[in-house]
């Protein structure tokens, strides 16, 4: 009987550990082999003093939070969110707010990803072919064949990784990219607390999820955590976190990026607007 109880305790302990390290929701980031060598990099170093607080939602309401469901399509939602955000920022008077079709990427149209995962290079498809409206290719949260005859509604004209292939982007470089180019796609470890508070309990830096940085807050109260936190859009629905968003400190107490947030980052441009903030006169 004692051995049985010990075995049961061990099994429960293993399950607790497994639950603790498992992603909090569906993820889907998959790194291709040798992706750095084929990438375009922007290693621009910040040259001006950045504001202590910045959030694109302070200037205009961006598109609603989306939900990837049980499909490993975070990558499609992240790059689509960048495209939707740029369209919203450049065309603020357009109503309703554009809703683009993530399913077009998840289907075989993109050829680089599906519900089993994908990567930042899905931006290539949006640059080359564009995305139709959600109504023309509704999200089905599953793999499917590419629909023919879809009319693209929005395209990007370029995109780039932040930093260089030998080193991930710095916190300041990510801020500068958000400040100049709009919301940025980043990677993160998907083990995240479902909370409206700032996440300070940092986990593994092995990234498996893609989200979007829309702003940041520098705060001396977080001096032990890199000096502030990110404001991040997730793709797990509006009932998760802070109405679909979450806040996470820049760094762990040990100095590594919290949950690996921003180990890789990429921005896009639309209509060849190189600096969207200056273009808008902000």
Q: Which residues are tagged catalytic?
A: 74, 209, 234
The separation between CA 277 and the C-alpha centre of its own chain, rounded to angstroms, equals 20
Closest residue by Cα to residue 204 from 140, 160, 260: 260
For residue 256, how many other CB atoms are within 10 A of its CB?
15
- Token pair, residue 212, equals 């979007």
3-state helix, strand, coil in the chain (%, to 5): 30, 20, 50
Burial environment of residue 72 by CB neighbours within 10 A (0 to 12, 13 to 18, 19 or more): buried
For residue 112, how many other CB atoms are within 10 A of its CB?
18
Closest residue by Cα to residue 51 from 197, 169, 180: 180
The separation between CA 126 and the C-alpha centre of its own chain, rounded to angstroms, equals 16
Pairing of strands 265-269, 184-188: antiparallel
Partners of residue 242 on adjacent β-strands: 245
- Token pair, residue 138, equals 């509704």
Burial environment of residue 152 by CB neighbours within 10 A (0 to 12, 13 to 18, 19 or more): middle
């Amino acid at each position: 009987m004692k051995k049985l109880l010990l075995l049961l305790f061990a099994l429960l302990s293993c399950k607790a550990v497994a639950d603790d390290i498992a992603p909090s929701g569906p993820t889907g980031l998959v790194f291709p082999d040798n992706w750095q060598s084929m990438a375009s990099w922007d290693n621009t170093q910040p040259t001006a003093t950045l504001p202590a607080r910045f959030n694109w939602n302070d200037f205009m309401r961006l598109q609603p939070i989306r939900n990837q469901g049980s499909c490993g399509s975070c990558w499609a939602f992240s790059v689509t969110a960048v495209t939707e955000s740029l369209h919203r920022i450049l065309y603020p008077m357009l109503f309703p707010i554009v809703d683009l079709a993530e399913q077009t990427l998840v289907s075989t149209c993109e050829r680089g990803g599906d519900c089993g995962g994908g990567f930042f290079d899905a931006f290539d498809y949006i640059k080359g072919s564009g995305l139709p409206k959600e109504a023309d290719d509704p999200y089905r949260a599953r793999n499917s064949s590419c629909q023919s005859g879809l009319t693209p509604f929005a395209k990007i004209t370029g995109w780039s990784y932040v930093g260089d292939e030998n080193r991930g982007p710095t916190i300041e470089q990510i801020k500068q990219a958000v400040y100049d180019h709009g919301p940025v796609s980043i990677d993160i470890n998907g083990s995240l607390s479902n909370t409206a508070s700032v996440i300070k309990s940092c986990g593994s830096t092995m990234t498996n999820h893609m989200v979007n940085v829309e702003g940041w807050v520098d705060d001396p109260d977080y001096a032990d955590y890199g000096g502030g936190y990110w404001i991040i859009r997730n793709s797990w629905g509006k009932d998760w976190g802070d109405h679909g968003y979450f806040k996470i400190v820049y760094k762990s107490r040990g100095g590594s990026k919290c949950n690996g947030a921003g180990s890789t980052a990429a921005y896009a441009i639309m209509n060849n607007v190189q600096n969207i903030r200056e273009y808008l006169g902000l």
